[in-house]
Structure 1
């Protein structure tokens, strides 16, 4: 006689919350960063940047609000992922969650640099925007370690695909390479994470499609 194994309710809930949080923050981050900041900021041109932001101040402030919401969703995702991966190793899952939560705090500090941009003079405005990018990039060091630990948890869990674990570690290494490059090499252009992000996207999709049906 065989017995069927069912997914614990808290695991199903954690998978759904984590997947939806990751999806929402990915969409919001893309809209706020590429749809607003990248559209209004001209690197190295303080006068044009200030003029463009003044002409679309409401759009700029909505982008800042969107980024703050992304930071909140990062914290939600951190604790949902902790609940989901706790059966694999509670200590590592807790460390991974705290790293993402601390990263979200650093990200919020970076976003705070943008709050005073609309009322600043052109030079100060561009300096604040540069500070936002610098602080965010430094914070991604923590995020990279978080992803690498998630990859380790997925690989050893027995209920997540091992390939997903490998891809998450690669994604984490991409962020680590970019952050360390920016910190250590003057003029370094972070590009590695643009090619290694696949693990992040697959984690989100897997949690939403398959994660609620795992057995631990």
Structure 2
């Protein structure tokens, strides 16, 4: 090994160093911002307006009318899929100094959710393809494909909930805000409970509003606050405790 190479190795930022932690915190914060923006478009502006529960014809007609927007929504979910991989890596690097095994497990849970979301995206493509055929049998398949996407995504969110529960523990270990860890714990538990409710409650739709509130409130507050905290770590205004 040359003298120059040895010197470069000595001066390069090491894993767990303040420079590296700020850098990966910045990547995680940027990934979260991208996910927020893409999720709003993909879910609330592209997907939700096309779904008419119990009305296959109306659902297929809505999808055909908004075909370009719906396809852009699929692209938005693809962006979420890719951004989640970056966030999983960045959070692993960020929290590894305070708990490498726990941080790795948290990353695996997030990647599991990401893989499930990626597989579910195929159902969105099936829905738009069937809608473009314009047959009554195809209309039935459109609604079924969209419902299957929703349920598959919900199953994946159970793994995402487990990820949040572990991140909350890592936040405490890293001397992060305990109130934020508590909110993240509530959000993680809510995701898991909601998935179980989808499976075991035959009349889930009758309780859907309450479950939505249970999940959305701690999730939006917790993940938004977590994004701000990550940005503050990236700017050096917050630090990660050494393990």
TM-score by length of 2: 0.83
Is the CA contact (8 Å cut-off) linking 1:147 and 1:168 kept in structure 2?
yes
| Alpha-carbon distance in structure 2 between the residues aligned to 1:129 and 1:49 | 9
Q: 1:39 aligns with which of 39, 46, 49?
A: 49
RMSD: 1.5
Q: Tell me the SS of whatever aligns to 1:116.
A: helix
Alignment match, 1:151: 168
Q: 2:224 aligns with which of 195, 201, 204?
A: 201
| Alpha-carbon distance in structure 2 between the residues aligned to 1:187 and 1:93 | 37
Q: Tell me the SS of whatever aligns to 1:186.
A: coil
How many angstroms does 1:211 deviate by?
Answer: 4.5
| Alpha-carbon distance in structure 1 between the residues aligned to 2:178 and 2:97 | 16
Alignment match, 1:18: 28
Are 2:189 and 1:173 aligned?
yes
Q: Tell me the SS of whatever aligns to 1:149.
A: helix
| Alpha-carbon distance in structure 2 between the residues aligned to 1:138 and 1:75 | 18
Q: 1:51 aligns with which of 46, 52, 61?
A: 61
| Alpha-carbon distance in structure 2 between the residues aligned to 1:140 and 1:123 | 26
| Alpha-carbon distance in structure 2 between the residues aligned to 1:87 and 1:43 | 48
Distance 1:207 1:68, change over 3 A: same
Q: Which has the larger radius of gyration?
A: 2
Is the CA contact (8 Å cut-off) linking 1:140 and 1:176 kept in structure 2?
yes
How many angstroms does 1:45 deviate by?
Answer: 1.1
| Alpha-carbon distance in structure 2 between the residues aligned to 1:141 and 1:92 | 18
Is the CA contact (8 Å cut-off) linking 2:22 and 2:233 kept in structure 1?
no
How many angstroms does 1:146 deviate by?
Answer: 0.2
Q: 43-52 or 95-104: which moved more?
A: 43-52
Q: How many residue pairs end up in the alignment?
A: 210
Alignment match, 1:4: none
List gaps (5 residues or longer) in structure 2: 1-16, 131-137
List gaps (5 residues or longer) in structure 1: 1-6
* 4+ long deviations beyond 4 Å: none
Is the CA contact (8 Å cut-off) linking 1:147 and 1:171 kept in structure 2?
yes
Alignment match, 1:73: 83
TM-score by length of 1: 0.93
